[in-house]
Amino acid sequence: MTTTELTGTSASEPTSSKWMALLAKPSAARVMVVGGVLFTLLSLTRMITDGDDLTSSGTMSTTLRVTTPILLAGLAGLWAERVGIVNIGIEGMMILGTWFGGWGAWKYGPWVGLLLAVLAGCVGGLIHAFAVVRFNVNHVISGVAINLFAFGAMRYLSELVYTPDTGGGISKSPQQKGAIPRINMPFLSGGQIGGWKSPDMLGWLEKKRFFLLPDIAGVLRGLVFNVSWASVIALLMVPLSAWVLWRTRFGLRVRSSGEAPAAAETLGVKVTPLRYLALAISGGLAGLGGGFLSIVMSNYYQQGQTASRGFVGLATTIFGNWRPTGVLGGAALFGFAEALQLVGPESLPKLFLFLASVGALAAIVSMVQKKVVPAINGALAAAVLLIGYFTIDEVPEPLTKAAPYLLTLIVLATASQRLRPPAHAGLPYRSGESH
């Protein structure tokens, strides 16, 4: 008896099953295939709707700037929850970062400002850890208290420090000294080599505007043209966090503290010091995000500068399934929507056609896999989005700002079985409970 007889398959079976098997595997190949298909659909949408802003280098450059503070807030939430502590206080730690970053950049320059922003965020993280670990305060209550404290304390400091003769005020700091350097890659985006300006190869290709290749050029040029070194540092936090948390002994101990702290403690892991250290890292990342807002995206501190980005960052932590690369993807998605609102708001309705095509494709894949309910949901979503594309001329700004939260709710509702938070995140624990 042959193998095909035992398995019930034949050599003539359609190759679609092989693609389904590939998509079922949580591998780099799956990410590349899905990403390639989505980008191809986006390129087709750009050509059909004449929506050049969808993949232009200007949109991608703005996306990178807008994404950076959200990404850092998401990584802050990731580090906190991986060690078992929910950090609702990310918004407050970002506020600390904006104020001390703006003050440091005004007094001593932007690099010192960024360093002070990180240190201020670390202090906020340690305060949260002290309340939660030492006194077993409810995680949410402690985080909310830090948010309220940071807002009031920074306003009070502004009243003391930014007197009228400094050029600042109770809600705004004076302008900073200098700026963090920016990068233009030679040959790719026209960067200089010495005093010679190199060709802008990606810019040349982007202007051709035929299928796919100009879109790839636009995305790549947005990532290598006029990029702040602070953005580069923030992006490096993604592979660094992944390596530390999943490739080092320290990271294993951090994750075990968030999954089963009692069991980890019986194996000799010092859970309490780990939680203090992880919360300091979490606060430092949030502070860096705040410093980015006041030093890179602006050149002064202003009250309300964070604009709830700390909470959006928490949404990306959930959206990204508590993984650094997932957080990056979620932050980029939210940043892209906001960048379109800033660069080309008229292109936002054109996204409905792209999303409708994604929904239709998801419905087809579900039908091939014989998943009836997901197929129906995908088809209905595609139909609604297609109607929106033909009937909506302008997307209201409040709806754009609510998109991160709506997307998170959709993910929680449709993919809750695939999301796996750390088992002990947010639960009370005292050292020695296992003894």
| CB distance 123 to 99 below 8 Å | no
Quick one: CATH architecture of 60-186+212-340? Answer: Orthogonal Bundle (1.10)
Q: Give residue 378's pLDDT.
A: 84
Reading phi first (left if > 0) and then psi (alpha if -120 to 50, else beta), residue 260 is in beta
Q: Could you tell me the pTM of the whole model?
A: 0.89
Q: Give residue 4's pLDDT.
A: 43
**Can you read off the two tokens belonging to residue 374?**
């997901």
Taking the C-alpha atoms of residue 125 and residue 360, their distance in angstroms, rounded to an integer, is 44
Taking the C-alpha atoms of residue 162 and residue 100, their distance in angstroms, rounded to an integer, is 12
**Can you read off the two tokens belonging to residue 247?**
């490739």
DSSP line for 321-373: TT-HHHHHHHHHHHHHHHHHHHH-GGGTTHHHHHHHHHHHHHHHHHHHTT-HH
| CB distance 57 to 222 below 8 Å | yes
Going residue by residue through the chain (435 aa), what tens digit of pLDDT does each one get? Answer: 444 444 444 444 445 555 555 555 555 666 678 778 888 988 898 889 888 888 888 889 999 999 999 999 999 999 999 999 999 999 999 999 999 999 999 999 999 999 999 999 999 999 999 999 999 999 999 999 999 999 999 999 999 999 888 888 888 999 988 899 998 888 888 888 877 888 888 888 888 878 888 889 888 999 989 899 999 999 999 999 999 999 999 999 999 999 999 999 988 899 999 999 999 999 999 999 999 999 999 999 999 999 889 998 998 898 888 999 989 988 998 888 888 878 767 777 888 888 889 888 888 988 888 888 878 888 898 898 889 888 888 777 777 777 666 766 666 666 656 778 899 988 888 876 654
